Amino acid sequence: MNKPKMATEKGVPSNSRVLMLLGQLERMNGEAMMRDVETARQVTAKIFHLIQTQEKSGKEVMSKGSSGMEVILASLESTRDVQTTLNILYILSELLTVGRGRRVGVFVSKGGTGILFQILITTSKELPPSEELMLQLHSLLAKVGPKDRKFGVKARLSGALNATVNLTKQNLQNTKLLLPCLQVLRVYSTNSVNAISLGKNGVVELMFKIVVPFSKKNTSLLKVALDALGALLKSKTNARRAVDAGHVHVLLALYQDWHHNDTRHRHMLIRKGLLVCLRNITNIKLGRKAFIDADGMRILYYSSTECLPVRTLDPLVNTSSLIMRKCFPKNRLPLPTIKSAFHYQLPHVPAVGPVAQLYSQPLGGRKIHQLCDRPLKKVDDVVDESDDNEETDADTENDTDNEEDEKDQHTANEDIETDLNKLHPKKNPGRPFEELKVYERFFLELSEDFQGYNFEPSKSASTTSSSFSSTRATRPIIVPTAQALSPKHVPITSCQEDCNPTKAERAPPSPSVPTPAPPASLTPLELDTIHLTKDQDRKEEARIPSPDTHTTLSSLTRPPSQAQTIEQDLAHVLECVSLEAEGALNTEGVKQDGSPVNATRHIQSPLLLGGIATRRVGGGGGSNWGSDCGSEGTEDEGGEGAVLEVPDTALLLPLHDPDLYVEMVKGTHSVPQYAEVAYPDYFGHIAPTFREPLQERVYGVQRSKIFQDIERLIHPNDIVDKVVYDLDIPSCPVIEDNGESLKFNSQFESGNLRKAVQMRKYEYDLVLNSDINSNHYHQWFYFEVSGMRVGTTYRFNIINSEKSNSQFNYGMQVLMYSVQEAISGRPRWVRTGTDICYYKNHFARSSIAAGGQKGKSYYTMTFSTSFSHKDDVCYFAYHYPYTYSTLKMHLSKLEALRTPQIYLRRDVLCETLGGNSCPLLTITAMPESNSNDHICQFRNRPLIFLSARVHPGETNASWVMKGTLEFLMGTSPLAASLREAYIFKIVPMLNPDGVVNGNHRCSLSGEDLNRQWQNPNPELHPTIYHTKSLLQYLAHIQRAPLVFCDYHGHSRKKNVFMYGCSVKETVWQSNISATSSDLHEDLGYRALPKILSQIAPAFSMASCSFVVERSKESTARVVVWREIGVQRSYTMESTLCGCDQGKYKGLQIGTRELEEMGAQFCVALLRLKRLTGIRNHQHLLDLESDIIGTQSKVVSSSPTTYVVEEDEPSFLEEIDYSAESNDEDAEPEIEHGIEVQENANHLDRLSDCETNHKD
């Protein structure tokens, strides 16, 4: 719009009269206005009338090209006439009332605020000042103030503060003038310096004169006064002043008065204002003490309880809850020390770091190797010496349901690496090759010539490789998929002994499990099938499909209709199987009546069957649930007390054998020297048949739990406070009672529960153990409960959690394993718990454990549950447990699955601090013959390097690794293709000691091993040191892996996703300048995640990030990328909770989905190989850009499934490296609307193009 000219001619349209009058006013500015006062009054009165009656007039004055505002303000500044001033103030008030945002901004930008303050000072000097003028001035200032960022400073510098205060004091009975004065004081007080100044001038006391008990008069005045008082009390100086004057008691009395009299809840804002004043006063320690002394906890507790039924009063309840939680006396954790209950003496202590600080304090934990039961003398590290720390204003609690660490957005960006020299990977082996040559023995496959091996069986097998019933396909290994799994019931091939190059290195089978003599027509059966078939006749009688039938096919290559046929056949087979006593296993037949098999025979996937109940007599080996489980007995079926019904999981869990597990436990070394075996680990876990959706959060659940906690202070006589389990009493951690309490236990591998305290009859506070040689990291738990009452709801509170938020607030449930359910044929972990929430509690966190920060609190994870069976023993866990002994058992069983076509070698990489071996696996395909061509092809296969479980609490990483290993050892064409394409080097558990001892994040050194990759110590971090050395050796011989992937678990995000390393994407997220040559980068690092997003339903590309951060420079992902030069270096994160996109949207994740993810990772590697279209390792990196160049098109049968395309990275959420971050870091839960659906036939199509793998 063009700038309007001030109209002076007659006959102008009425809507331009205001411009004419403004032009006249402009000419009168200065001395003319003082001389012709009457004309000025008339002109301003007419302008006011036009603006008041015509909306267009106001728009013309405030239009972008108009100079109307300057004219009005110039006139206001120059006039000395009260009436003219009033007229102009009326004009401004009318203008700024409409469209306040932009118009007030224009007013402020033109210096209007300063002019108003100038007039205020001038008017206040007059005696008496004009009441109407003061009224209009303050009304206008109240409108302008919130929009002017420098309002408080201008007021203080101009002297307006005192003018307003004096006017307020003089007009306490004049409500008409008092209201705008209070409104301006409210704005003044938002400036902290002004608030202190006003407090010195007695404004706090002045506000308490205005705030009165319940009255229906002047409620708007009272509301503004409370707002001003609340703003003043944010200042600690004013808060102390109010406490010293006894105003805490006054505020509580006022709140009670308004609460009792405002029965119709019409004055909720006044009641909320009183609570805000209390909230701000209690930000200081003196205020909290005064609040407690004035019986504030009881007053707010009962008033809030009365408000609960009225939903509209929730703001009052929430603010009351916040005040009570803040004033709840800080309790110490019921521990002698925050150090771990177990102590492991390190060979040497680092010079600096948290472990060095820990050792500088007197020893708090007990030495396992000592016989004394009492801890050594120590300092009290559970709480700080005093609670004198006053929280800063920024550290006060948020008025929200869940408090989170307040982190500015720029903080995350500050961590992004900006040094381009560090961003460009530079191969730096770091050690001389002479030192690394010792690692040559872990790469025998690179020099093996196979001259002494007989390849005839392999050749005969390969001649029928095109047939699905070939020898290669007769040993089905479960390929984890949520759609279907193949049964496992196959003999070991007879040529294994001749073809296995490393038979001598294999672990021998458990001596406790006898192997029956092989029948005439069959080779020996595996351990997990020997009690199903006794001879060939029984096999035929049971109608078990022959190994050469279609039942051996992997579900990945079987059309749905055929898979259903397999499942129906298997269900029929299971129905007919008769289990008879055999050897030392003492099994008995399954009664078909009421059998779980009958009940579930129509379920599609064989793995989903409910289980087969059999009887196992006595001598359960490692069972630790008392005489019921381990007592000796006769084989007489009628002796109820002498036998124990246990599930036969062998058919459905081919890699699990209870007796073999016990043998593995015997060779596992723990610091507490565990002698027990947990039932779930002994008998295994079969994924449930039903879906487990994310739990919907019940409205107000957290608030109700907090109120129950507050009741402990209000009704102390209701509290039992009885310790029922305590690891700090090593001689007898389980404290006997009269049967009124639950019994707890965690003294088994991977167990973590330090203490259990019965607080009420059915409520228990649980304390987790710190990682050994650490004083924090409380997240992983795994413990046993017994002695429960059926149908009674128990509440469990884990009270020393450290992270500021958790997926328990977003639908995740704990896991429970019932022994009685397992005996009934349902051995499985199930998601359980109601009223689950996670919130800050009243237990003080020592600054020693909080990185020097004082005033921090722990967090409570609470859940309620009931038990369905009498005399049950149940286990609770943070996530599906996967112990070190389980890994050893699985590896032993996988070795038994090796066929002549599979090259498998199991080495011991090193021994850990705790004396446990760290296994290293090599898996690939045997060469077709010992000819030079075949040997050359064998040696030159690209390497894939995988690792997992560097963080013990991330058990989901092991389940994903299990899926990967099972796929790699499978007999499907896809698995065979994968083995022929790559050599796999796998470290399935990087932190065995942490896993064994129930740590969450650290090894026995008390350090996060995923922060030691830059400079690992061979004594303190042996697994990292030697794993890195393997990679350095490969880099030296020019055989760096094509892909490196470290499997992790993520505690604060959903789905499965990857973190990678990219120069370009890191630069995009920072403000550094870079040339095009700096940003030149092969985009091949995005290929594997993209493929996974297409074929794996749990994988989310939107959650992936490829940014390099400074704080992550010592993680595996970054070090392998930067020093070894592996472009595709990843961390693959699997959620501990569930998915919010794709096929599993709204569901909690289970072991089936995790194992499926591990298998799909393998399929993605095959897809990566096919897309590159090459076989040579050297050219793979050069041609990777061809992948990104593929066209973008939608797969027709699945509109949301895309092939690989070139695009810019999408950062749709905060970057959050949980598995690679410090525990204190936290991000809010971010939900994604991106949905990626799985194409049901996608893998079938893949098999067509990827099974043709011969060169």
Task: Give the bridge partners for 874, in sequence order.
Answer: 785, 818
Choosing from 448, 588, 802, 1133, the catalytic residue is 1133
Return d(Cα 526, Cα 521) in angstroms, integer: 15
CA distances 609 to 467, 605, 869, 881, 890, Å, are: 30, 7, 22, 21, 21
DSSP helix/strand/coil, 774: coil
Cα distance between residue 608 and residue 682, in whole Å? 20
The H or E element spanning position 861 is strand 857-866
Give the bridge partners for 1139, in sequence order: 1145
Name the DSSP letter for residue 74: H
List the Cα angle 701/703/706 in 5-degree steps: 110
Strand partners, 416: 1109
User: Which amino acid type is present at position 224?
Assistant: V
Half-sphere exposure of 1071 (CA within 13 A, CB side): 5
Contacts of 82 (CB under 8 A, 6+ apart): 130, 133
> 72: buried, middle or exposed (CB in 10 Å: 19+, 13-18, 0-12)?
buried
What is the edge-to-edge ordering of all strands in the sheet holding 814-818? Answer: 743-745, 782-786, 873-877, 814-818, 829-832
Verify whether residue 526 is a known catalytic residue.
Answer: no
Residue type, 701: V
**Beta strands 763-767 and 793-801: pairing type?**
parallel
How many residues comprise the chain? 1255
Phi, psi (degrees; rounded to nearest 5) at 837: -160, 170
Distances (CA, A) of 160 to 80, 109, 124, 137, 205: 19, 19, 9, 11, 20
Phi (first) and psi of residue 613, to 5 degrees? -80, 130
> Kindly report the CA angle at 1164 between 1158 and 1169, in degrees rounded to 5?
140
Three-state SS at 743:
strand
The amino acid that residue 319 corresponds to is T
Longest pairwise C-alpha distance within the chain? 128
List CB contacts of 76: < 8 A, sequence separation 6 or more: 85, 88, 89, 92, 115, 119
Separation CA 462–CA 364 (nearest Å): 63
Question: Using an 8 Å Cβ cutoff, are 395 and 312 in contact?
Answer: no
CA-to-CA distance for 183 and 222, rounded, in angstroms? 11
Number of neighbouring beta carbons within 10 Å of residue 942: 22
Identity of residue 71: V
Catalytic residues: 1133
